[in-house]
Amino acid sequence: MASSTSDPGADTKSLDSEVEQTELIQNRLYQPWSLNRDASFLPVDDIERERQEGLHHFFQRIFDGRLIFPGPAAKDPERILECGFGTANWACDVAEAYPDATVIGVDVSPHLKPDTTPENLHLQIDDLNDVFTFPGNHFDLVHSQHVVTGIKKHRWPGYVRDCVRVLKPDGWLQFVELHLLVQSNNGTITPRHAIDQLGQAFIGAVDDKRDLRAPTRFAKMFTDAGLQNVEQQVIHIPLNPWMPDPQWSERGREFREAFVDGLEGSLMIPLTQFATLSANEVLALLAHARKELQDESLKPYMALYIAIGRKPNS
């Protein structure tokens, strides 16, 4: 992984033609470099850009505009690291909110980053599955979000340890991640439903590659890595307007649209290349799942996990 120097962008991996290349698969653009390294199987096209940007704004409304959850970490940070910047919305927002801080973002793909960024933001292209080479005791905050489909199964303990090592004493780590299995608030989603069949097929397809249940264990991972003041919060986000509260009903409508928009691009590679489904079979299941997500009686939701922890002073 690229290291941090007096010029935070100096060690950024050059964006050679291999990293910048794209490949059209089932009418979506993917990054062959990531696919070949087993680093990411998400698309890198404008559809994915719009989806990620929409999710960032959606989550910011849920978080009441908070970018940094631990209060002490929000007080005049000098250096901030984001792991998995994607479209760099969070990185740009935090760089603008803290103009005196140096913000570094790392992601495996350059394709979704914006053309212009704040002067204090430096985006680096590298694989988070590689050992960090940033110096120890360097960042006031390390923020990681939406990387559960990118971090390899065996990497999680080392990934957390790397994040902790590069934190300053009294620095904070925060993880934000969805548990990608759709659940039902009343238990009415069963194996006969396409949405459950897709979820189980996805888990089975990547089980030897990814730990999709990792978010449920963030608190333990943080504690095992030596962090203190560890807290974990779980927010159930509805996938259609079934909640009686008008605000959450509208959120459910909005989240369903974002979720449905991302299903095909997220599932096509795993289910056709790591499992035995054909593209037509995937598309048929997706069509049924979209209809099921219209059914408010199923009360579908996804769990969003937020974990924070402080590196001790000694």
User: Per residue in 196-251, pLDDT tens?
Assistant: 999 999 999 999 999 999 999 999 999 999 999 999 999 999 999 999 999 999 99
6 falls within a domain: no
Q: How many independent structural domains does the chain possess?
A: 1
Q: Are 184 and 199 in contact (CB under 8 A)?
A: no
Q: Which CATH number is 101's domain given? A: 3.40.50.150
Q: How many CB atoms lie within 10 A of CB 61?
A: 12
Average confidence (pLDDT) over 135-139: 97
Q: Which helix (H) or strand (E) holds 223?
A: helix 218-224
Tell me what the mean pLDDT of segment 267-294 comes to. Answer: 95
Q: Residue 15 above 90 pLDDT?
A: no
Give the separation between CA 125 and CA 110, rounded to whole angstroms.
Answer: 6
Say whether pLDDT at 4 is over 70. Answer: no
Structure-token pair, residue 28: 């979506």
Q: In the predicted model, is pLDDT for residue 293 greater than 90? A: yes
Summarize pLDDT for 141-180 with one digit per residue, the tens: 999 999 999 999 999 999 999 999 999 999 999 999 999 9
Mean pLDDT over each residue of the chain, to the nearest integer: 93
CA dist 117 and 102 (Å) reads 13
pLDDT over threshold 60, residue 3: no
Distance CA 15, CA 185 (A): 45
Cross-strand bridge partners of residue 301: 183, 238
pLDDT band at residue 16 under the 50/70/90 scheme: low
- CA of residue 252 relative to chain centroid, distance: 19
* pLDDT value for 292: 97
Q: 130 and 159 in contact (C-beta within 8 Å)?
A: no
- Helix, strand, coil content of the chain in percent (nearest 5): 40, 20, 40
Block residue for tokens 């937020």: 306
Q: Residue 1 — very low, low, confident or very high, per pLDDT cuts 50/70/90?
A: low
- Kindly report which listed range (15-24, 49-58, 243-252) carries the lowest average pLDDT score: 15-24
Q: What is the distance between the alpha carbons of residues 185 and 98, in angstroms, rounded to a whole number? A: 39
Any domain includes 10: no
The answer to whether position 11 is within a domain reads: no
pLDDT at 13: 42
pTM above 0.85, yes or no: yes
pLDDT at res. 10: 43
**pLDDT at residue 5 in the model:** 37
Backbone angles phi, psi at 17, to 5 degrees: -60, -30
DSSP string, 257-298: HHHHHHHHHHHHHIIIIISS--HHHHHHHHHHHHHHTT-GGG
Per the structure, the complete domain to which residue 262 belongs is given by 17-310
